Structure 1
């Protein structure tokens, strides 16, 4: 910090588990990736001053400030959005992307995007595994 090496300080703080301090150092950088990470950490910690600081720095640099997760997404155990949860339910029923698209009046490409996000959030390697994990999640198991 004394050398004003904010990236180095962020790494050092992260290495010892000082997440807030690491995010604070990231908020001092002028790089979009670092600022987004600072914002995400601040939101995950519920650190409103840090979130405001990172957002203000992004606006100052003319960068878009990503929206945070909605209340229902934060409340979901797997972090699924409402639409992802709806599609996960249809995966559990065994529907393919075309059938899901028709049922929800979406394009197949949109469904593919959501299924990809569901796979990532559930840590599944394929849709069969995602359906199995989603089934457990939806049953509250």
Structure 2
């Protein structure tokens, strides 16, 4: 979208905001740049519809980076505009981020209900509301705000399932601080960057599968046991959602980025 319609400001604001927010939630590099670019464009419009999502995204990034003290400066003016205009969802989301920065903040009367529930401590009902709306990320964050360890673990697993690694790390840290042990492990950063969530060794095996090699031959090439290759092949088929080695080889041809740990095609700059 950024390449297709560079002259269309509303589209560009949305695309930059989505890109920045996605990078922030995944823990990818440089979430700040697209959000700053989106904010510069949004400020010129003075339009709440443009300002609100970008301000919320910048607030979320500040929280994920461990800098909640920056949130009020980011959202304050836009929040007050939302309240003045009576926009429930804008006031709710921006008010929620103000509450994240300062728990003594009270929701505005106009705030949308899921945010109001979170800010008043009714986290289970808030999560239920978010699920009904089809928002699993927000539902997980709501559950994570409570003091129940089982709910916190459920939130952590959901964030990991979504690939929301930045928030998952914050939730895991909070659970550890509350004495919770045996947290579900997060994949290594290289695995998280791969489009199919393949580990480094699985990538090595997958590179050889299109050659039609037997497991024993792959084992000899990689200096590992045939039994280990069996386990890797089974894991690869499951992660790719295919039923055979031939289908896996076809998937590789259609998705060359799967052969790189960072999601780029081999040789990409």
Where on the TM-score scale, by shorter chain, does this alignment land: which range?
0.7 to 0.9
CA shift, 1:3, in A, is 9.3
Question: What is the aligned counterpart of 1:15 among 123, 132, 152?
Answer: 132
Higher relative contact order (CA 8 A, sep 6+): 1
* CA drift at 1:118: 0.9
Please say which structure displays the higher CA radius of gyration. Answer: 2
Report the TM-score when normalising by structure 1. Answer: 0.73
Does residue 65 (structure 1) correspond to residue 198 (structure 2)? The answer is no
Instruction: Answer yes or no: is 1:121 the counterpart of 2:242.
Output: no
Matched ranges for 1:37-56 at <5 A: 37-40=157-160, 44-45=163-164, 47-48=166-167, 51-56=169-174
Output the aligned Cα RMSD.
3.0
List gaps (5 residues or longer) in structure 1: none
The equivalent of 1:34 in structure 2 is 154
Task: Give the corresponding residue for 1:105.
Answer: 223
- Alignment partner of 1:138 is 2:256: yes
Gaps of 5+ in 2: 1-116, 258-264
In 2, Cα distance between equivalents of 1:84 and 1:62: 31
| CA distance in 2: counterparts of 1:138 and 1:103, whole angstroms | 21
Q: Does the 8 Å contact 2:153/2:183 carry over to 1?
A: no
| TM-score, structure 2 normalization | 0.43
- How many pairs does the alignment contain? 137
Separation in 2, partners of 1:75, 1:103? 25
